Amino acid sequence: MKDRRKQLRNKSTPEEKMLWQKLKGNKLGRKFIRQYSIDNNVVDFYCPARRLAIEIDGELHKDNQKYDQYRTRYLGAFGIRVIRFWNNEVKNELEKVVSKIKENVSPPAPS
């Protein structure tokens, strides 16, 4: 798995690189890991403190939506939430994507 993660990091899409610039170094107040493995799956980004996986989907995923749904349920069995964004969302609405991620990693407001 380690070699697979390294290969994925080295072949990151432009959208993954764009988003990583916004996530790395605790910029959202949480640590994120790039190309993190969970069982036999590798997710694009992972926030361990919130057990949140972030997936960036491109053209290939349009034909694999059933598999992506299965994978989301599978990761959910490990207590991991998955949020997905399309490449074009990251490319054209990066700040909106970052805002949604921030909402998902921020602590809940006191009631």
pLDDT tens digits for range 6-44: 555 556 789 999 999 999 999 999 999 999 999 889 999
Q: Bridge partners of 54? A: 45, 83
Rounded CA separation 94/74 (Å) = 28
Q: Where are the alpha helices (DSSP H) in 2-54?
A: 2-10, 14-23
The set of residues, in sequence order, having a beta carbon less than 8 Å from that of 13 and lying 6+ positions away, is 56, 58, 87
pLDDT of the residue at 40: 86
Answer yes or no: CATH 2.40.110.10 is held by domain 2-50+58-102. Answer: no
pLDDT of the residue at 65: 76
Q: What is the pTM of this model?
A: 0.85
**pLDDT band for position 60 (50/70/90)?**
low
| pLDDT score of 4 more than 70 | no
